[in-house]
Structure 1
């Protein structure tokens, strides 16, 4: 259609601008004897036609650009899916959600298998400072040991950001404060055991009972998780070993065999909802949840930077506010733990088999829960 309108535009321009010089052309002995310029009416008609055609063309151009951005976003997720399978082939297991509180997350473990080995090494002793980084150290410790250029390198990994949200942003980071580190527009799909959900009320009191997800030494952190990506295997030193030594040699908790619903029937990564103006109702938690680093998970709501719950439905756009616990309070973490995207009408998800699907924002919670659960025996129609 855009080609048709362009053709029409050039046809009108050809007719009218030819008339500027030679509306009435009479050749007499090789020269023009009659010519005149545009009349005011003709000029206004041309301007009006051009305005109408531009108005028709602009939405088509914008739609084409968004289609390209959505395709690039889909390719980002596919790259993650390939990295997950390469990790599984190497370690016979699914990359862990996190190796421990404050330590490297699922996405950091993908670096080596997504052509980002240099980024991984920056966090594993390859930094230029005299004090070396290490995967067993807290991410905050590692981040503070990096130079500005090294931080920028981590914040410029293309497949971690969606172009619809961060168009042209090659330096996505939160450099100071809680939640500091590289930023992302993707999160692990989280589903916790609903039977452990406490009565609703004060969310600040109850949220930990529902969403603790980062400490493999805590039984409820492990047992509550029902998605395809879970914590690293519980370290043998729990209760006896403390500090960095506890996190030096993690191993995957699960292989693909754990996902009994089938790899094609389980979402493991999706786009996370980050509001366009997250402080419209008052900033929460030093900005940690809304757009904190994806590189680690720990308390104070910072786990939501790595994983988001699929249980509450999808955000319907960048300005949507999720009243996730149904108490009518839009403060606290309510508005920031859901999944969603900046693509019109859909949010994209990576399945465990490596394929990517665009899911309508109106998808039912029941269907989303089925796709987030790895072992419930329910197969969705997606």
Structure 2
């Protein structure tokens, strides 16, 4: 692919295999609590079309990053297959910013970094840069991480509160 292609998503951490909850996940940036007019559905996940955001409360803060800001991924490149550009299911941020799969990505056991642009993953990090994926850490630094990073190490980096500080990676 020629030229620069990239979109970014927040780190939602990871969860047990087969189980995922965007609200209670261990990522640095997870869904907050908000009220809208008209009201959201009972679970609070989605706002009705054309709803106005009335209040917002974050579920995380820098204090909740107990693993340290240099050991916690905040934002990373978003994997979207070329055949899915502009398709709501995978490249949905351009259509629908209130659906978690459009603005966040998972990383860790069961959620590796995509190794190529055509890998079939929906909610994983990935890049069009060969063999690396770029991430912004919570301390503001930018790291290029190998797509071959062990998923347990990636999980320690995406989790804000697992008490696992990662050294060199």
| TM-score scaled by length of structure 2 | 0.78
Higher helix proportion = 1
**1:338 aligned to which of 94, 101, 124:** 124
Q: Closer, same or farther in 2 for the Cα pair 1:192/1:359, shift >3 Å?
A: closer
1:230 Cα deviation from its structure 2 partner: 1.8
Query: Are the aligned partners of 1:318 and 1:342 in contact in 2 as well (CA < 8 Å)?
Result: yes
Deviation of the 1:289 alpha carbon = 2.5
Alpha-carbon contact 2:112-2:125 (below 8 Å) kept: yes
Conserved? CA contact 1:289–1:337, under 8 Å: no
Q: Label 1:251 to 1:189 Cα distance change in 2 as closer, same or farther (>3 A).
A: same
Paired residues for 1:188-199 under 5 Å:
188-194=10-16, 197-198=17-18
Asked if 1 retains the 8 angstrom alpha-carbon contact of 2:66 and 2:160, the reply is yes
Q: Distance in 1 between matches of 2:148 and 2:14?
A: 21
Instruction: Give the number of the structure with larger relative contact order, counting CA–CA contacts within 8 Å between residues 6 or more apart.
Output: 2
C-alpha displacement of 1:252: 2.5
* Match of residue 367, structure 1, among 131, 145, 153: 153
Partner SS, residue 115 of structure 2: coil
SS for the counterpart of 1:277 is helix
Q: CA deviation at 1:336?
A: 2.2
Range with bigger deviation, 252-261 or 371-380:
252-261
Q: SS at the partner of 1:292?
A: helix
Whether 2:139 is the aligned partner of 1:353: answer: yes
Aligned to 2:113: 314
Output the CA distance in 2 between the equivalents of 1:291 and 1:233: 24
Q: Which runs of 5+ in 1 are unaligned?
A: 1-65, 67-162, 167-184, 199-209, 214-221, 280-285, 322-334
- Kindly state the Cα deviation for residue 362 of structure 1 after the two structures are TM-superposed: 0.5
Partner residue, 1:165: 5
Equivalent residue number for residue 229 of structure 1: 29
Q: What is the aligned-residue RMSD (CA, Å)?
A: 2.8
- For the pair shown, the structure with the greater C-alpha radius of gyration is 1
The alpha carbon displacement at 1:274 in A equals 1.0
If each structure's strand is expressed as a fraction of its own residues, which one has the higher value? Answer: 2
Partner residue, 2:163? 377
From 52, 59, 78, the counterpart of 1:253? 59
- Measured in 2, the distance between the counterparts of 1:276 and 1:372 equals 25
Distance 1:289 1:365 in 2: 24
Query: Unaligned stretches of 5+ in structure 2?
Result: none
Alignment map for 1:275-314 (pairs within 5 Å): 275-278=81-84, 287-293=87-93, 296-298=97-99, 303-311=100-108, 312-314=111-113
Query: Quick one: structure 1 residues 317 and 259, their matched pair in 2 at CA, closer, same or farther if it must change by over 3 Å?
Result: same
How many equivalent residue pairs? 154
Aligned to 2:74: 268
3-state SS, counterpart of residue 157 of structure 2: helix
Q: Secondary structure at the match of 2:9?
A: strand
CA distance in 1, matches of 2:161, 2:130: 31
1:1-382 map, 5 Å: 164-165=4-5, 185-194=7-16, 197-198=17-18, 210-213=19-22, 222-223=23-24, 225-233=25-33, 244=51, 247-278=53-84, 287-293=87-93, 296-298=97-99, 303-311=100-108, 312-321=111-120, 335-380=121-166, 381-382=168-169
Q: CA deviation at 1:234?
A: 5.9
Task: Give the TM-score taking structure 1 as reference length.
Answer: 0.37
